[in-house]
A and B are shown apart, each in its own frame.
Chain A
Amino acid sequence: MSNDPMAEIKASFFVECGELLESLQDALTDMDEGAYDNETINVVFRAVHSIKGGAGAFGLDALVAFAHRYETVMDEVRSGRLEIDHDSLKLFFHTADFLADQVAAARDGLPEPDGSEACLQELEALMGDALPPPEEEDISDFQPMGLSLDLGISDAEFGDFGLPPQLEDMPDESAPWSLTFTPSSALYASGNDPTHLLRNLRDLGEVVLRCDLAALPDFDTLESQHSYLSWHATLPGELDEGDIRDIFEFVEDVCTLELTRTSQDARAETTEFTLPDLSDLAPLGADPSSMAESVEAGPAQQADPAPDTPAPAETPPPAVDPPAAKPTPQASPNAEAPGATVRVDLERIDRLVNLVGELVINQAMLAQSVAEAGLPQNSKVMTGLEAFMMLTRDIQDSVMMIRAQPVKPLFQRMGRIVREASAAVAKEVRLRTEGEATEVDKTVIERLADPLTHMIRNAVDHGLETPDIREAAGKPREGIITLSAQHRSGRVVIEIIDDGAGINRKKVLEKAISKGLVPADVQLSDAEIDNLLFLPGFSTADQISALSGRGVGMDVVRSAIQALGGRIAITSEPGKGTRFSISLPLTLAVLDGMVISVANETLVVPLSAIIETATLTTEDIRSLGPQTNVIHVRGDFVPLYDLGAELGYRAPKSSYEGGIVLLTAQDNGERSALVVDAIMEQRQVVIKGLQQSYGHIPGVAAATILGDGQIALILDPADLVHNASGRTRGLETALAG
């Protein structure tokens, strides 16, 4: 696709950055919940470190510089020299947000985001004067281990994963270094070559190198993809540890590295190689053809390329148990084992989804023709067809699941919104998320971001009270917003709950009346008042804050949700808080519809738009104008539309008595009644776009293919009513006829 191979690698780096930022957020959230253990801190450190490493490789200097300074501070935390408290955590979050901005800026080639310097300075201020400047080596009182690993800040940046101090003997400063380097198969898989590393090592100074063949099995049992070799090197004692570790910086996740000062016992057991011979050593398993394979074989070998998993997959080979290899992710409390993943072009998935859609339609057609052929129920064809039907459904579900993604990244974005919003209005807010692993169609997630952002801002701005008021009401100063997702009967339900003051119904009603949205003498139930929030142009904040209240309000949220085939509901309890529930379809590729017929045409109406169905009686129908009718449903007058007439299939009927109507709800809560000839069935239909092949048709959302191979149009009742004439009176019959 691209002429520039680097561009592709770079693109995948940014994808990885996204994952790293996600794990960074996760770990910070864990810390926020009180997990101050080394593992969690390490995850934070490692995420920042890996971003720095990758950015360095691409020469993204601004990002490197930023990540480096963040990393330095995190290293202080890791080494226990910096206490974490609520405020510093807030700063860490803040910096993580900036880091995300930096990554985005680097990706899009934009200038550095404003304020990152200020943020860093604030962060670095945490380290305070009590701490020595980072460049000074600190063989400190805290560190009984002295030289062995966490030599000091500058060294710690390179590679070691910050184990709790190891109690080791303090060897002599000038004792030669002993290095054991055991590459894992992942090292080869990610295209690294130990030869280069060892050559670099040689360039440092006089090196005695031995290759350890002990793990090498017999030729018969040798697995070409497996890594068996390790190297022992003895390096001059005057070398700097940092310099040595530097060489291995980018492979540290895929090898085990042990670096210690030796006492003089040599541990030579094996064949000796001198360095020049290395060029003859074909790197094991690293021939290009097998590389790709072994990357894909990731799950089996746990051999994800290093930056892919922020918590490096620990390698199976005979680990020497050096301290540097220890901090495996497993220990981390919330770490779910990183599943093996494959990145696939979205287009391919969509193609697959389409094909499966075809399969479903074909299967339905086949079933119909078999049924028409009048075969007995227990015939082989029938039973085979039934099995086929089940399989098709399973395939369809599985394929839909490919497009599904956890809502977690979306929720994490909301975490940031909460932080920014609460800072802007000086409120103390904590975001709780539940059900982050809930999976929803990718498109749904993408299109949910804006409405959700809006609602979260609203919750912070309008929902929660200021800390003082909360305190006065006997609540904790910190308000809590809960964002949850769960699957419920084939749909996904996302809830935004705040523990604020609840909706001030009196105020809402006054506002609605003053804005002329409802008549002054209107009688409304509590629920109806709550729903006034969804009216266009409604904004309750007394002052228009920078945060929300720009006039685009909940009505926009509501139409965005409805465009996704979703519904939104609101419940509120004074003094306790407000809850918004969004119910969404799991996918946009299929839709639950009611199949109806009008003027011999078959149509599908989305089930989500239908409130109820009814049969009309004479008493229900009242004429409104010379050409229009309304029907009387439980005390409300609802305009009547003849679907057949509105779609131009026929002229309005002379009488609608005994007709079947679908009651539908519109964006603004208004209802309308659509007359249909018959309701045939309820079923899932595969959505086929009309837009591409033909263009937009008023009142029609899309099309689908029915079991008989015919195309049926899927209606968009809101759009239909919007464009409708409303002619339902016999008077027109003559004119239109």
Chain B
Amino acid sequence: MTQDTSKITSASEVELLSFRLGEEEYSVDIMSVREIRGWTRATPLPHAPAYVRGVINLRGTVLPVVDLSVRLGMAPVKGDARNVIIVVQMGAQTAGLLVDAVSDILNLPRSELQPPPDLAADSAHNYISALTIVEGRMIRVLDLASVLPEDAVEAA
């Protein structure tokens, strides 16, 4: 679990936290979610890529916040009281994901997750590790490793 929580492992059940970005529904493996916070203004970082909203104070630690919507190639999250920041941890890295709203917690058998089809025209699919259908809605499972800011990007 501590290794790489974003990768789907062999356990038969999977628990997902689903959230909304615009009209789309996404989800992350709940094991990688540390907490959910209300919206707070982030301090912008100079020379940061557009999807890095800035840093916030998470009980004394400096937490970078990624605007997931921008990261996935959509319009920025507005940033108001309804928006939330999902604090996720991957390995040693902790970051906040700014999303429109959290919708649900889903319990699914792992077998219901499908690999995403390979569509080259869509850059966003790189960030998706699996797809599933819940009550007629398609839900994308995020590949956390690919959405979090990498040091190399910032150092440049």
Contact = CB atoms under 8 A, between A and B. Distances in A.
B8 interface: no
Contact of B46 (A354, A357, A697, A709): A697
Contacts of B47: 647-648, 697-699
Interface in A611-668: 646-649
A690 B44 contact: no
Contacts of B57: 361, 705, 709-711
Interface size class of B (residues with CB under 8 A): 20 to 34
A690 B46 CA distance: 13
A711 B60 contact: no
Contacts of B40: 709
B43 A694 contact: no
A354 B60 CA distance: 8
Contacts of A694: 45, 52, 55, 62, 64, 149, 151, 154
A693 B54 CA distance: 12
A361 B45 CA distance: 21
Nearest to B153: A695
A648 B46 contact: yes
Contacts of B119: none
Contacts of B59: 358
A358 B43 contact: no
Interface in A697-737: 697-700, 703, 705, 709-713
Given A694-B45, A695-B149, A697-B45, A711 B154 contact: no
A196 interface: no
B60 A357 contact: yes
Contacts of B142: none
Contacts of A709: 40, 57
Contacts of B95: 693
Contacts of A358: 59-60
A601 B48 CA distance: 15
A683 interface: no
Contacts of B37: none
B149 A647 contact: no
B63 interface: yes
Contacts of A700: 45-46
Interface in B110-132: none
B62 A710 contact: no
Interface string A683-697: 000001110011111
A703 B55 contact: yes
A710 B44 contact: no
B46 A710 contact: no
B43 A690 contact: no
Interface string B49-87: 000101111011111100000000000000000000000
A361 B46 contact: no
Nearest to B95: A693
Contacts of A695: 149-151, 153-155
Contact of A649 (B44, B61, B93, B151): B44
B56 A711 contact: yes
Given A648-B46, A649-B44, A696 B61 contact: no
Which of A354, A696, A710, A712 has the most chain B CB atoms closer than 10 A to its own CB? A710
A690 B155 contact: no
B74 to A, nearest CB: 22
Interface in B85-119: 93-95
A326 B119 CA distance: 88
Contacts of A647: 46-47
A699 B60 contact: no
A710 B42 CA distance: 8
A713 B64 CA distance: 13
Interface string A449-471: 00000000000000000000000
B41 interface: yes
Contacts of B62: 688-690, 693-694, 703, 705, 711
Given A694-B154, A695-B151, A695-B154, A601 B55 contact: no
Residue from B47, B94, B95 with most neighbouring chain A CB atoms (10 Å): B47
Contacts of B52: 694
Contacts of A361: 57, 60
Interface string A346-381: 000000001001100100000000000000000000
B46 A693 contact: no
Interface in A327-362: 354, 357-358, 361
A53 to B, nearest CB: 44
B44 to A, nearest CB: 7
A693 B94 contact: yes
Contacts of B149: 694-695
A700 B155 CA distance: 12
Nearest to A362: B60
A703 B44 CA distance: 12
Contacts of A357: 60
Contacts of A689: 62
A693 B45 CA distance: 13
Contacts of B154: 694-697
Contacts of B43: 601, 703, 710-713
Contacts of B153: 695
A694 B153 CA distance: 10
B79 to A, nearest CB: 15
A197 to B, nearest CB: 50
Contact of B44 (A601, A693, A696, A698): A601
Nearest to B60: A358
Contacts of B45: 694, 697, 700, 713
Interface string A414-451: 00000000000000000000000000000000000000
Contacts of A703: 43, 55, 62
Interface string A116-148: 000000000000000000000000000000000
Contacts of A690: 55, 62
Nearest to B94: A693
A699 B46 contact: yes
A174 B155 CA distance: 83
A696 B64 CA distance: 12
30 contacts: A358-B59, A361-B57, A601-B43, A647-B47, A648-B46, A648-B47, A688-B62, A689-B62, A693-B61, A693-B63, A693-B64, A694-B45, A694-B64, A695-B150, A695-B151, A695-B155, A696-B154, A697-B45, A697-B46, A697-B47, A697-B154, A700-B45, A703-B55, A705-B62, A709-B57, A711-B42, A711-B57, A711-B62, A713-B43, A713-B45
The 3 closest A-B pairs by CB, nearest first: A647-B46, A695-B151, A695-B154
Given A694-B55, A695-B153, 14 more contacts: A358-B59, A647-B47, A689-B62, A693-B64, A693-B95, A694-B149, A703-B62, A705-B60, A710-B57, A711-B43, A711-B55, A711-B56, A711-B57, A713-B45
Interface of A: 354, 357-358, 361, 601, 646-649, 688-690, 693-700, 703, 705, 709-713
